[in-house]
Amino acid sequence: MEKQSIKTYQEFSEDKFTKRVIYNNDSSTAFVLNFFPGQKLPAHKHPGAEVYLLVVSGSGTIIIDGKEIGVTEKDVIHTSDDEELSFINTSSEPVSLYVVLNKLSK
């Protein structure tokens, strides 16, 4: 058993969004993405993995396959391995996303 606090991983940078890995093993990875206002996560996919995102704090816009969706604190988002996703902090406050990538079994 391991216990971590997301608060420990909420580290921000003026230069660009930050990624802080909490757990990483053969089947899954968990990390926190931190964004100051205006910072973006570029569009990308995670082939072979499902993605789960929890908005820990703040709000912004997630884009899934080109469709913009407003998200706010405590929202949970799931994407499949073939969906393209990106994120923009469109608010005036910092945003933290808790992300879990689960590898798909073959």
The whole-number pLDDT of residue 54 equals: 98
Of all residues in the chain, what percent carry a pLDDT higher than 70? 99
Q: Strands of 1-106 (E only): list them.
A: 18-24, 28-35, 40-44, 49-57, 59-64, 67-72, 76-79, 85-88, 95-103
Quote the Cα angle for 53-24-50, to 5°: 40
Give pLDDT < 70 ranges for the chain.
106
d(CA 60, CA 69): 9
Q: What is the pLDDT of residue 37?
A: 98
In this predicted structure, what is the pLDDT of residue 105? 74
- Tell me 6's DSSP state: G
What's residue 75's pLDDT?
98
pLDDT confidence of residue 106 = 62
